[in-house]
Amino acid sequence: MRNKTIISLLLPIILLLGSCGQAASPQQQSSLDGPRSSSLNAEGHAGGTLDMLAGGSEKAVRKIKPMDNYQLQRKFPDILYMTGPSDQPVAALTFDDGPDQRFTPQILDVLKKHNVRGTFFVMGSRVKGHPEVVKRIVEEGHALGNHTYWHPQLYNESLYRLKWEAEETDKALQEVVGFKPKLFRPPYGGLTDELVAELGRQDYKVIGWNVDSLDWKEIGADEILSNMESHLKPGAIILMHSGGNWDQDLSGGVEALDRLIPELKNRGIDLITIPELLDLPDRK
Ligand SMILES: [Zn+2]
């Protein structure tokens, strides 16, 4: 009896929380299309909330890939990069979807402990929400890249939406750290010909990855490390996350990072930023 009462009290709360975690409905999505800037809202709710990824959690979306990024890389070799040079003992750690108050500070602590620098692809909405964390990223010598404002599935949106997402994020970064980044990473790694060409016109360098930690699956450190094991070679661009959907637990990734860095050092691989690895400027 008592259990039943507790469940009936909790049920409305559970339902409410569940609805926050879902991807935007088709109606919500379509309201974001088109050229009217009034349908896009940098402050509020048209695109999502600070704790959500507008295009859905990585778990829900990553199965679908619009195009093979290696094919695109061959077509746009001066715009899209998937790896660094393999003839030098270096690799780059990259962290998507921050900044947040939960995991980004922990990732920064681990990097500091090992005296290593990485590259953070940040969301504009979260830059506005947590400016002090972005400042810390820059002060501690890490590189920054643009990861859109609300994290939509760009390949299902208009080029207007891409332009808006990129520009609003650049503006947010300009306000907080005083520069616009040269690097861009698309949410979910989802790209098309048109998107890469447009990003090139907007003077970005688009950064993919060739080592996926799969930390967004909320797995433990052992599994994350074994996912990466066979790919950890010179020139690697390693994908991890320093934030996520509001309901994601990335603590396995934090622990994995703490073990990964000494392991790479043992193998003689130096960890450097994406601008260093690819010999690119870090800002426009
Ligand atoms: Zn992302």
Q: What is the C-alpha end-to-end distance of the chain, expressed in Å?
A: 64
CATH classification at residue 80? 3.20.20.370
Residue 40 placed within a domain = no
Mean pLDDT of the chain: 86
pLDDT (average), residues 259-280: 97
Reported pTM: 0.83
Residue 38 placed within a domain = no
* Residues paired with residue 207 on neighbouring β-strands, in sequence order: 81
Q: What is the DSSP letter of 142?
A: -
CA–CA dist 4, 250 (Å, integer): 32
Distance 188 CA to ligand 1 centre (A): 6
Distance 170 CA to ligand 1 centre (A): 16
- Number of folded domains that form the chain: 1
The reply to whether 96 belongs to the active site is yes
CB 175 within 8 A of CB 156: no
Residue 36 placed within a domain = no
Residue 246 placed within a domain = yes
Examine the pLDDT at 49 and tell me if it is beyond 90.
Answer: no
Tens of pLDDT, residues 14-45: 433 333 333 333 333 333 333 334 346 665 44
pLDDT at 40 (0 to 100): 63
Distance 99 CA to ligand 1 centre (A): 11
Maximum distance among all Cα pairs of the chain, rounded to whole angstroms: 68
Q: Is the dihedral of CA 200, 204, 210, 212 positive or negative?
A: negative
Examine the pLDDT at 2 and tell me if it is beyond 80.
Answer: no
Distance 97 CA to ligand 1 centre (A): 5
CB 241 within 8 A of CB 188: no
CB 196 within 8 A of CB 161: no
Distance 25 CA to ligand 1 centre (A): 19
Residue 271 placed within a domain = yes
* Residue of 97, 147, 241, 282 marked active site: 241
Cα-flanking dihedrals φ and ψ of residue 93, to 5°?
-90, 130
Range of the domain at 189: 50-278
Q: Where on the phi/psi map is residue 178: left (φ > 0), alpha (ψ -120 to 50), or beta?
A: left
Residue 100 placed within a domain = yes
Tens of pLDDT, residues 189-245: 999 999 999 999 999 999 999 999 999 999 999 999 999 988 899 999 999 999 988
DSSP result, 45-104: TTT--TTS-TT--HHHHTT--SS-HHHHHHH-TTTEES---TTSSEEEEEEEEE--SSSH
Cα-flanking dihedrals φ and ψ of residue 233, to 5°?
-125, 165
Tens of pLDDT, residues 112-132: 999 999 999 999 999 999 999
Q: Give the other-Cβ count within 10 Å of 4's Cβ.
A: 8
Residue 164 placed within a domain = yes
* Residue of 96, 170, 215, 282 marked active site: 96
pLDDT at 42 (0 to 100): 65
Which residues, including other chains, have CB under 8 Å from residue 153's CB and lie 6 or more apart? 55, 56, 61, 187, 188, 190
Q: Which one has a higher pLDDT value, 67 or 258?
A: 258
pLDDT at 184 (0 to 100): 98
Distance 147 CA to ligand 1 centre (A): 7
Q: Is the dihedral of CA 172, 178, 183, 188 positive or negative?
A: negative
Residue 108 placed within a domain = yes
Tens of pLDDT, residues 132-155: 999 999 999 999 999 999 999 999
Of the listed ranges 9-13, 23-27, 266-270, the least confidently predicted one is 23-27
The reply to whether 249 belongs to the active site is no
pLDDT at 50 (0 to 100): 82
